[in-house]
């Protein structure tokens, strides 16, 4: 999570899913309406910029849980928080960011031998570690972070 929106946090998602009897489309529509009129806030601007300054920016990607149909609004909001010129990949409902990341590496970055994966969801950390654990040619370093932006 690189950006958050006032009034939306993990509790909001759970509450709305319960209130709508798991109607994901209804909750997504409500979220889209909310983010259309609210500006995103960067969760860790200084540490993200430090990371970019210390690595080869050509090897940095963003992997979002969002669907690719949200590409335009995602790119617009990332640009608003200063995240530009970084390839963005969409999980599109993949159950595992690990599987999606493995697919990205195999198809787009076949010479990569070291991966640093940072996420605020422990399930994503676990799935990346699990998917790459049997791949002896790629060393993976996973880092969990907790942002303080839950409003």
The larger pLDDT score, comparing residue 101 to residue 13, is at 101
The rounded distance, in Å, linking the Cα atoms of 19 and 25 is 13
Per-residue pLDDT reduced to its tens digit, 44-90: 888 888 888 888 777 889 999 888 988 999 999 999 998 888 999 99
Where residue 148 falls among pLDDT bands split at 50, 70, 90? low
The larger pLDDT score, comparing residue 14 to residue 107, is at 107
Q: How wide is the angle at C-alpha 89 spanned by C-alphas 49 and 137, nearest 5°?
A: 85
The rounded distance, in Å, linking the Cα atoms of 32 and 150 is 18
| pLDDT at site 102 | 94
Question: What sections of the chain are H helices per DSSP?
Answer: 10-19, 24-37, 45-54, 71-80, 97-108, 122-132
Bridge-partner residues for 141, per DSSP? Answer: 116
State phi, psi for 19 to the nearest 5 degrees.
-65, -25
C-beta atoms surrounding 125 within 10 Å = 20
| pLDDT at site 131 | 93
Q: How many helices (H) and strands (E) does the chain have?
A: 6, 6
Per-residue pLDDT reduced to its tens digit, 92-135: 866 689 999 999 999 999 999 999 998 888 999 999 999 999 88
């Amino acid at each position: 999570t690189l950006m958050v929106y006032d009034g939306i946090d993990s509790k909001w998602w759970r509450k709305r899913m319960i209130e709508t009897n798991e109607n994901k489309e209804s909750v997504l529509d409500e979220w889209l309406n909310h983010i259309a009129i609210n500006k995103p806030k960067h969760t860790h601007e200084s540490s993200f910029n430090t990371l970019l300054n210390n690595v080869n920016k050509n090897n940095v990607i963003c992997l979002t849980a969002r669907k690719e149909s949200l590409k335009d609004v995602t790119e617009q909001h990332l640009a608003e928080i200063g995240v530009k010129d970084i390839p963005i990949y969409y999980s599109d409902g993949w159950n595992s960011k690990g599987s999606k990341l493995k697919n990205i590496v195999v198809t787009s970055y076949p010479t990569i031998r070291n991966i640093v994966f940072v996420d605020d969801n422990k399930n994503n950390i676990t799935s990346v570690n699990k998917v790459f654990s049997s791949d002896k040619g790629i060393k993976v370093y996973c880092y969990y972070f907790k942002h303080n932006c839950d409003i």
